[in-house]
Structure 1
């Protein structure tokens, strides 16, 4: 029994030794093969990075705006009697578009013209009789006043009829008609839109850091995905005076030709501002950049020598991405910073240290206002351009006041008659020919007529919009022929010769603040420049 067990164990050990030897030989063979195995090289496509001169540009998304665009509307209410245009029609300045019913006014005008003709005839006859002393001076004064008043009534009715005759305020293309024959329209209701043709504005926003690179007259190139093979060229027309405090962008307006009317107001376009300077940039194919939330990188091909053998390897390097043009993109920082670079440390010196408080502020114009209409009316005259420098009191906009002018003429006739009557009554009172009550009545009548004239002149003056102070205008918000309601924004005006900067400080710094302290201002829009001013106000709360 013992011999059988020993024999079995011996056989088992022999099997283990044999198979172990065979497996060991296999493993040794694999190890030897792995040592002699050479990893095959990875096939890559390499392209040289090169330095090129690129024209400096600023790219933005813009919106097209007509150079002149207005919603044509009636200044007074009425029923549409005739339509003299079709949707989409090209019209000339002053061309009749819509006529409202003026039957009542025309009848009143005919009557007023007859009264005016009779009053003029009576005046001429009274003048001849006055030459022979056949009538009194009072009768002549009354005849003159009546002639002037009836003529003013004629002018007033003609003005009302003219307001009910809607004409094109400038040449351009009409939009889709919004009214029909027989419709009753209120003052200011949209009849049709009118847009100038031949040129367009493009409005776009640029970060404030780019402000120092912008100037009126700078070339711009405009492209649209609607016309992928076309480019429109124009120039910067206006740079808005104020930066949007919400976005820290500044609004810019450029003008470009659009003679074939391919572009339409409201279209989104890509705007490229072509700056006058060029810059050297390192460019690579855009497909060579690997984008990552942790940073963008490229692989740099380098030659290395190891153990007397030269090999080609690639090194991953972080880069900053610049502008993309076509299939290429500008990069910075591809070479990295060599670890052997020497750093020079200046010798420390004791110098006086000026304590300062640093914060971020917002610039505010010393004077800034949105100029608006005070009274309702249609724009008949525009006397300014976007971005223009204006003086205090300079006329910017005139609204239609033809009816008010006629009312002034009528009131002036009444005023003149009342004044002549007062002078005559004064003379009679001095001789006790009239009672004091009659003199007081004449005085009251003259004062009332004078106040009426002043009131009507005030209405006309309020329809003439002027610059309240000297400064630079922003982008125009209204156009010829536009009906303005009270408060409608016309344009912004800012005084930029002196600026305020508003900023906040922690309450712990309050004891260190005082009026007339020196303040230095810098802006990333103008690197290297500094402005100095003085602290003027510390808020009480």
Structure 2
């Protein structure tokens, strides 16, 4: 009985020992396991170097016509001529519409004849005033008549000019809103006129970039209607005030529109090139986020790795700028970061693509 109890105790003791050894190996860190087994983790690395970096700011913008007006009637009368070719270019000063101006023309002719007669009488009174002092009052009265008639003639000529509607600048006519023969009232819209030879692009930029913005900077824009096409222009004006709600500033740029692809109202993706600098850039795969910080694994000379905090700047597709924490020549892990910890031994393989 005693011998059986002894064997049972030894069996239990052996099992307990095996369990303790299992727990020990389970709780070992990767680097301890590596050292215990004499193995190292195979990782892909990248050498940190300086490379050209284009600093950009992106935004959404709206396309506007360089010049844009609504063509309206300034007076009340019948429309007797209409020259609106929708979607066609019209030159500055070219006739768009003609209202009935028969009454105004007759009035101009009447006042013109009257003015000629009033001026002739004025000359007679002037000659009379040279010899007779009492004619001075007649001279003053006649001069008043001439001035009054001239003012009336100018007013009628102005109304006559309003009967003829011409293009204020060269542009493209919009859709026709009225028909020939219609009776127009003041303010009636006939059509629109847009100068589309250039597009004025309006977009907003955050306050943070205000000091870096300058007129003349290059602007690149794209639109979903033309995949792969990039429209290039320059900043022409920066608003003097910031929006107190969004803390952003409005910017206007001009883009050449020779092919007439862009139209007012289009939504454009905008990017502005602020500067071109040399900066440290690494693959975004090297970043190990922890809470609100970013880390990378730096490979030491003895092939151990050190987890190092970095400050990042601008992000690009597949790349990220490192502001601090690394220096040129450092070797960092870009693949295999999930299999290692600080102090682990690695077998580095430098990526040929550097990514």
CA–CA distance in structure 1, aligned partners of residues 310 and 21 of structure 2: 43
Higher relative contact order (CA 8 A, sep 6+): 2
Q: Which residue of 1 aligns with 2:159?
A: 160
2:88–2:173 contact (8 Å) kept in structure 1: yes
Give the Å deviation of 1:259.
Answer: 1.3
CA–CA distance in structure 1, aligned partners of residues 326 and 237 of structure 2: 42
CA–CA distance in structure 1, aligned partners of residues 319 and 41 of structure 2: 25
Q: Which residue of 2 aligns with 1:192?
A: 191
TM-score by length of 1: 0.49
Q: Describe the shift of the 1:211–1:130 C-alpha distance in structure 2 as closer, same or farther (beyond 3 A).
A: closer
Q: Which residue of 1 aligns with 2:264?
A: 265
CA shift digits 1:426-484 (9 cap, x unpaired) = xxxxxxxxxxxxxxxxxxxxxxxxxxxxxxxxxxxxxxxxxxxxxxxxxxxxxxxxxxx
CA shift digits 1:239-267 (9 cap, x unpaired) = 22233333333332222322112222233
CA shift digits 1:300-351 (9 cap, x unpaired) = 24237xxxxx444362x44333222343221223349xxxxxxxxxxxxxxx
Corresponding residue SS for 1:158: helix
CA–CA distance in structure 2, aligned partners of residues 228 and 334 of structure 1: 39
Give the superposed CA RMSD.
4.0
Is 1:107 aligned with 2:99? Answer: no
**Structure 2 alignment gaps of length 5 or more:** 26-32, 328-355
1:59–1:273 contact (8 Å) kept in structure 2: yes
Map residues 347-358 of structure 1 onto 2, 5 A cutoff.
none
Map residues 294-443 of structure 1 onto 2, 5 A cutoff.
294-303=291-300, 310-313=302-305, 315=307, 317-335=308-326
Give the Å deviation of 1:88.
Answer: 1.3
Q: Which residue of 2 aligns with 1:206?
A: 205
**Structure 1 alignment gaps of length 5 or more:** 1-9, 305-309, 337-541
Corresponding residue SS for 2:231: strand
Give the Å deviation of 1:184.
Answer: 4.5
TM-score by length of 2: 0.70
CA–CA distance in structure 1, aligned partners of residues 228 and 53 of structure 2: 22
1:56–1:278 contact (8 Å) kept in structure 2: yes
Corresponding residue SS for 2:46: coil
Q: Describe the shift of the 1:47–1:186 C-alpha distance in structure 2 as closer, same or farther (beyond 3 A).
A: farther
Is 1:89 aligned with 2:88? Answer: yes
CA–CA distance in structure 1, aligned partners of residues 41 and 78 of structure 2: 83
Number of residues of Structure 1 aligned to a counterpart in Structure 2: 313
CA–CA distance in structure 1, aligned partners of residues 104 and 279 of structure 2: 78
Q: Which residue of 2 aligns with 1:180?
A: 179
CA shift digits 1:28-49 (9 cap, x unpaired) = 5677788698497655443333
Give the Å deviation of 1:163.
Answer: 1.4
Which has more strand, going by share of residues?
2
Give the Å deviation of 1:171.
Answer: 0.4
Q: Describe the shift of the 1:175–1:16 C-alpha distance in structure 2 as closer, same or farther (beyond 3 A).
A: farther
Q: Describe the shift of the 1:221–1:111 C-alpha distance in structure 2 as closer, same or farther (beyond 3 A).
A: closer
